Amino acid sequence: MFQRSSEAGGEPVSLTIDGRAVSARAGDTVAVAFLLAGLDHCRTTPVSGAPRAPYCMMGVCFDCLVSIDGQGNQQACMVPVREGMVVASQQGRREAGQ
Protein backbone atom coordinates (compact mmCIF):
# COMPACT_ATOMS: atom_id res chain seq x y z
CA MET A 1 0.00 0.00 0.00
CA PHE A 2 2.65 2.51 1.01
CA GLN A 3 5.71 2.93 -1.12
CA ARG A 4 8.70 5.21 -1.20
CA SER A 5 9.17 7.77 -3.96
CA SER A 6 11.94 6.84 -6.35
CA GLU A 7 13.41 10.29 -5.72
CA ALA A 8 13.79 9.74 -1.96
CA GLY A 9 17.33 9.72 -0.67
CA GLY A 10 18.96 8.79 2.60
CA GLU A 11 21.42 6.17 3.70
CA PRO A 12 20.06 2.69 4.47
CA VAL A 13 19.33 1.98 8.14
CA SER A 14 18.65 -1.48 9.62
CA LEU A 15 16.33 -1.90 12.60
CA THR A 16 14.19 -4.61 14.15
CA ILE A 17 10.41 -4.38 14.52
CA ASP A 18 8.75 -7.15 16.54
CA GLY A 19 11.74 -9.40 15.91
CA ARG A 20 11.66 -8.80 12.15
CA ALA A 21 14.60 -7.17 10.36
CA VAL A 22 13.42 -4.04 8.58
CA SER A 23 15.25 -1.66 6.29
CA ALA A 24 14.57 2.08 6.37
CA ARG A 25 16.43 5.20 5.31
CA ALA A 26 18.05 7.94 7.33
CA GLY A 27 15.42 10.63 7.91
CA ASP A 28 12.53 8.15 8.12
CA THR A 29 10.54 7.94 11.33
CA VAL A 30 9.71 4.68 13.06
CA ALA A 31 6.10 5.09 11.85
CA VAL A 32 7.30 5.28 8.25
CA ALA A 33 9.33 2.10 8.80
CA PHE A 34 6.18 0.34 10.11
CA LEU A 35 4.11 1.41 7.13
CA LEU A 36 6.72 0.61 4.49
CA ALA A 37 7.27 -2.81 6.09
CA GLY A 38 3.58 -3.55 5.51
CA LEU A 39 2.76 -3.89 9.21
CA ASP A 40 -0.95 -3.27 9.81
CA HIS A 41 -0.74 -1.87 13.35
CA CYS A 42 1.77 -0.73 15.93
CA ARG A 43 -0.28 -0.94 19.12
CA THR A 44 -3.51 -2.22 20.62
CA THR A 45 -5.84 -0.27 22.87
CA PRO A 46 -5.90 -1.00 26.61
CA VAL A 47 -9.65 -1.64 26.95
CA SER A 48 -10.80 -3.48 23.83
CA GLY A 49 -7.48 -4.57 22.30
CA ALA A 50 -8.41 -2.86 19.02
CA PRO A 51 -5.42 -2.43 16.69
CA ARG A 52 -4.14 1.08 15.97
CA ALA A 53 -1.79 2.25 13.23
CA PRO A 54 0.00 5.54 12.59
CA TYR A 55 -2.68 8.07 11.72
CA CYS A 56 -1.81 11.77 11.93
CA MET A 57 1.97 11.37 11.43
CA MET A 58 2.62 14.60 13.35
CA GLY A 59 2.41 13.68 17.04
CA VAL A 60 -1.16 14.71 17.78
CA CYS A 61 -3.22 11.49 17.95
CA PHE A 62 -0.99 9.03 19.91
CA ASP A 63 -2.21 6.06 17.84
CA CYS A 64 1.40 5.13 17.01
CA LEU A 65 2.71 4.40 20.53
CA VAL A 66 5.44 1.74 20.53
CA SER A 67 8.30 0.52 22.69
CA ILE A 68 11.70 1.65 21.39
CA ASP A 69 14.82 0.06 22.85
CA GLY A 70 12.79 -1.03 25.87
CA GLN A 71 11.19 2.37 26.52
CA GLY A 72 7.39 2.25 26.20
CA ASN A 73 4.94 4.94 25.10
CA GLN A 74 7.13 6.38 22.36
CA GLN A 75 5.40 8.13 19.46
CA ALA A 76 6.63 6.30 16.37
CA CYS A 77 5.82 9.28 14.13
CA MET A 78 8.14 11.56 16.10
CA VAL A 79 11.22 9.33 16.48
CA PRO A 80 13.74 9.07 13.63
CA VAL A 81 15.10 5.60 12.87
CA ARG A 82 18.67 4.80 13.77
CA GLU A 83 20.92 1.85 13.07
CA GLY A 84 20.26 -1.14 15.33
CA MET A 85 17.08 0.26 16.90
CA VAL A 86 14.78 -2.37 18.44
CA VAL A 87 11.07 -1.55 18.19
CA ALA A 88 8.17 -3.53 19.61
CA SER A 89 4.44 -3.11 19.06
CA GLN A 90 2.74 -1.98 22.24
CA GLN A 91 0.04 -4.29 23.55
CA GLY A 92 -2.54 -2.55 25.72
CA ARG A 93 -1.32 -0.11 28.33
CA ARG A 94 2.36 0.46 29.06
CA GLU A 95 3.53 2.45 32.04
CA ALA A 96 6.18 5.07 31.37
CA GLY A 97 9.63 3.57 31.75
CA GLN A 98 8.57 0.00 30.94
48 lies in some domain = yes
pTM: 0.87
4 lies in some domain = no
52 lies in some domain = yes
97 lies in some domain = no
Three-class HEC string of the chain: CCCCCCCCCCCEEEEEECCEEEEEECCCEHHHHHHHCCCCCCEECCCCCCEECCCCCCCCCCCCEEEECCEEEEEHHHCECCCCCEEEEECCCCCCCC
pLDDT of residue 60: 96
pLDDT of residue 12: 93
5 lies in some domain = no
- The pLDDT tens digits along the chain (98 residues) read 667 766 667 899 999 999 999 999 999 999 999 999 999 899 999 888 999 999 999 999 999 999 999 999 999 999 999 999 999 999 886 654 44
Give the CATH number of the domain where residue 38 resides.
Answer: 3.10.20.440
Q: Which domain holds residue 28?
A: 12-89
96 lies in some domain = no
Q: How many domains does the chain have?
A: 1
Q: Which of 95, 27, 20 is nearest to 65 (CA)?
A: 95
81 lies in some domain = yes
pLDDT of residue 92: 83
